[in-house]
Structure 1
Amino acid sequence: MTERSPATRRTLWVMLSLVFAFLYIPIAVLVSLSFNQGGLPTVWSGFSLKWYASLAGNAAILSAALNTLIVALVSTAIATLLGTLLAIGVEIRRQYGSGLEALIFAPMIIPDIVLAIALLSFFSLLDFTLGLHTIILAHVVFNLAFVCSVVRARLKSFDWSIVEASADLGASALTTFRRVTLPVILPAVVAGALLAFTLSVDEFIIAFFTAGAGRASTTLPMQIYSMIRFGITPEINALATIVMAVSITALTLSQRLNRGVIGQ
Structure 2
Amino acid sequence: MARLILVLGLLFLWAPILLLAGYAFSADRIPFQWGGFSLRWFAALAENARVQEAALLSLSVATGAATLACLAGGLAGWALARGGRFCGRPLFGLLAGAPLVLPEVVMGLSLLLLFVLAQGAAETLLGWRLERGAGTIVLAHATLGLAYVAVLVQARLARLDPRLEEAAADLGAMPRVVFLTITLPQMVPSLVAGWLLAFTLSLDDVVLASFVSGPAGTTLPVLIFSSLRMGLTPEVNALGVVILVLVLAAVGVAGWVLRGRGGDPG
TM-score by length of 1: 0.90
| Amino acid paired to 2:180 | R
1:34–1:51 Cα contact (<8 Å) kept: yes
The alpha-carbon deviation at position 180 of structure 1 amounts to 1.7
Residue-by-residue CA offset, 1:53-86 (whole Å, 9 max, x unaligned): 1111111100000110110001111110111111
| Amino acid paired to 2:82 | I
Counterpart in the other structure of 1:227: 227
| Amino acid paired to 2:220 | L
Counterpart in the other structure of 1:92: 82
Kindly indicate whether residue 183 of structure 2 is the aligned counterpart of residue 181 of structure 1.
Answer: yes
Counterpart in the other structure of 2:259: 259
Q: Secondary structure at the match of 2:85?
A: helix
Q: Secondary structure at the match of 1:95?
A: coil
Counterpart in the other structure of 1:50: 40
Identity %, equivalent residues: 39
Answer with 29-38 or 223-232: which moved more: 223-232
Counterpart in the other structure of 1:131: 133
1:83–1:145 Cα contact (<8 Å) kept: yes
Instruction: Name the CA distance, whole Å, in 2 between partners of 1:92 and 1:173.
Output: 12
Instruction: Name the CA distance, whole Å, in 1 between partners of 2:176 and 2:44.
Output: 50
Counterpart in the other structure of 1:4: none
Equivalent of 1:81 in 71, 79, 83: 71
The alpha-carbon deviation at position 29 of structure 1 amounts to 0.5
The alpha-carbon deviation at position 239 of structure 1 amounts to 0.5
The alpha-carbon deviation at position 94 of structure 1 amounts to 4.1
Instruction: Name the CA distance, whole Å, in 2 between partners of 1:37 and 1:173.
Output: 63
Aligned length: 252
Gaps of 5+ in 1: 1-8
Counterpart in the other structure of 1:108: 100
| Amino acid paired to 1:118 | S
The alpha-carbon deviation at position 243 of structure 1 amounts to 0.8
The alpha-carbon deviation at position 248 of structure 1 amounts to 1.1
Counterpart in the other structure of 2:125: none
Q: Which runs of 4+ in 1 moved over 6 A?
A: none
Instruction: Name the CA distance, whole Å, in 2 between partners of 1:146 and 1:253.
Output: 16
Kindly indicate whether residue 11 of structure 2 is the aligned counterpart of residue 21 of structure 1.
Answer: yes
Instruction: Name the CA distance, whole Å, in 2 between partners of 1:43 and 1:60.
Output: 26
Root-mean-square deviation (CA), in Å? 1.7
Counterpart in the other structure of 1:5: none
Kindly indicate whether residue 148 of structure 2 is the aligned counterpart of residue 158 of structure 1.
Answer: no
TM-score by length of 2: 0.89
Gaps of 5+ in 2: 120-129
Instruction: Name the CA distance, whole Å, in 2 between partners of 1:168 and 1:16.
Output: 52
The alpha-carbon deviation at position 260 of structure 1 amounts to 4.3
| Amino acid paired to 1:192 | G
| Amino acid paired to 1:115 | M
Residues 187-198 of structure 1 correspond to what in structure 2 (within 5 A)? 187-198=189-200
Instruction: Name the CA distance, whole Å, in 1 between partners of 2:111 and 2:236.
Output: 29
Residues 206-221 of structure 1 correspond to what in structure 2 (within 5 A)? 206-212=208-214, 214=215, 216-221=216-221
Residues 28-47 of structure 1 correspond to what in structure 2 (within 5 A)? 28-47=18-37
Q: Secondary structure at the match of 1:217?
A: coil
Residue-by-residue CA offset, 1:66-114 (whole Å, 9 max, x unaligned): 1101100011111101111111111123435654322210011000000
Residue-by-residue CA offset, 1:34-71 (whole Å, 9 max, x unaligned): 11111111111111111111111111100000110110
